[in-house]
């Protein structure tokens, strides 16, 4: 449960979300203005549509187009997601509009391939960091969050599909090489976004089969300060009953767990699996917008 309005915890909760949005906006604007715009590339989503209109009409600035095109999406966020998501996304879009005007790094990167990699990585990182807040930077992320909530469709993949339509429109007004570079940059952006959305959620699940399961379970609890569960198994060949220790740890603790297990029982059998998300006490809370 999130902190209630009026207490210090709530103030810290709001501050954390605003800082994530601000950092995401700065990184995205740096990639947008520093790499994409100088090479006449299209970014993804509403940003890409803003750039396309700017390339065609010459005015106004992409930041102004971005703010205008977001208006109907704010309405969708208000109706379809939540009031809290709407206000945070409004703040995020406002920050990004401001950063698109103010954050203009002079990178002077002549090689378009380097611009593709750097611009895509910065924009993807910015979007990923912002989506770890309770809002977004506006744009098609609002629709992506709505689709994710309703159907579980990954945010990065949804954005990549939307961007395909924008690139198709770009073929009408931009040279083919610019559209192809844009496609590559959007792919880098989507991959980076998916990485940032998952990197903080990934945990390791270990299944440990050992006759010294009690000692191992106690060590996990007292030394790693993690809970564990004892499952009942049966040997496939001997049909003898076995206890299986199930534990979930973070990526840093997995080596400590391995050392702990094999110190207790050198003959233990340990299987380690990567997880995409772990929800519950000691890990992540379920995110509700």
Q: How many residues appear in the chain?
A: 289
Query: What are the residue ranges spanned by the domains of the chain?
Result: 8-199, 203-275
What pLDDT, on a 0 to 100 scale, did the predictor assign at position 143?
Answer: 80
pLDDT tens sequence for the chain (289 residues): 555 566 777 888 889 889 999 999 999 999 988 998 888 888 878 888 888 888 888 777 777 888 888 888 777 777 776 778 778 888 888 898 889 888 888 777 889 999 999 999 999 999 889 888 887 787 777 787 778 877 778 776 787 788 888 888 888 888 899 889 998 998 898 889 878 877 666 788 999 999 999 999 999 999 888 889 999 988 888 888 999 999 998 777 888 899 899 999 999 999 998 876 766 665 656 566 5
| Burial (CB count within 10 angstroms: exposed 0-12, middle 13-18, buried 19+), residue 166 | buried
Beta strands in the chain (DSSP E): 203-209, 228-234, 241-249, 269-275
**C-alpha to C-alpha distance for 187 and 41, rounded to whole angstroms:** 13
Q: What is the DSSP letter of 284?
A: B
Query: What is the per-residue pLDDT for 145?
Result: 75
pLDDT score, position 247? 92
Q: How far, in whole angstroms, is CA 169 from its chain's centroid? A: 27
Sheet strand arrangement including 228-234? 228-234, 241-249, 203-209, 269-275
- The CATH number for 203-275, chosen from 3.40.50.720, 3.30.70.120, 3.30.56.10, 3.40.50.12140, is 3.30.70.120
CB atoms within 10 A of CB 256: 14
Is pTM beyond 0.85? Reply is no
């Amino acid at each position: 449960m999130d902190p209630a309005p009026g207490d210090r915890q709530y103030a810290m909760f709001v501050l954390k979300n605003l800082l994530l949005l601000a950092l995401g906006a700065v990184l995205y604007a740096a990639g947008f203005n520093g790499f994409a715009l100088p090479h006449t590339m299209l970014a993804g989503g509403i940003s890409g549509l803003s750039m396309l209109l700017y390339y065609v009409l010459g005015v106004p600035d992409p930041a102004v187009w971005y703010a205008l095109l977001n208006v109907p999406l704010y309405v969708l966020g208000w109706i379809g997601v939540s009031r809290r998501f709407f206000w945070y996304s409004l703040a995020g879009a406002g920050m990004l509009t401001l950063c698109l005007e103010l954050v203009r790094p002079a990178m002077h990167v002549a090689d378009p391939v380097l611009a593709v990699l750097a611009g895509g990585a910065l924009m993807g990182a910015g979007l990923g960091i912002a989506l770890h807040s309770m809002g977004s930077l506006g744009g098609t992320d609002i629709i992506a969050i709505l689709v994710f909530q309703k159907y579980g469709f990954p945010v990065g993949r949804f954005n990549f599909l939307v961007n395909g339509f924008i690139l198709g429109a770009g073929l009408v007004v931009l040279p083919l090489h610019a559209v192809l570079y844009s496609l590559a940059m959007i792919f880098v952006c989507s991959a980076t976004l998916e990485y940032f959305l998952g990197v903080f959620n990934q945990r390791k699940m270990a299944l440990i089969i050992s006759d010294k399961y009690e000692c191992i379970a106690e060590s996990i609890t007292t030394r790693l300060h993690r809970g564990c569960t004892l499952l009942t198994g049966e040997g496939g060949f001997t049909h003898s009953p076995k206890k299986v220790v199930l534990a979930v740890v973070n990526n840093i603790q997995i080596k400590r767990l391995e050392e702990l297990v094999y110190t207790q029982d050198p003959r233990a059998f340990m299987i380690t699996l990567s997880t995409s998300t772990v929800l519950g006490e000691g890990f992540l809370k379920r995110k509700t917008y």
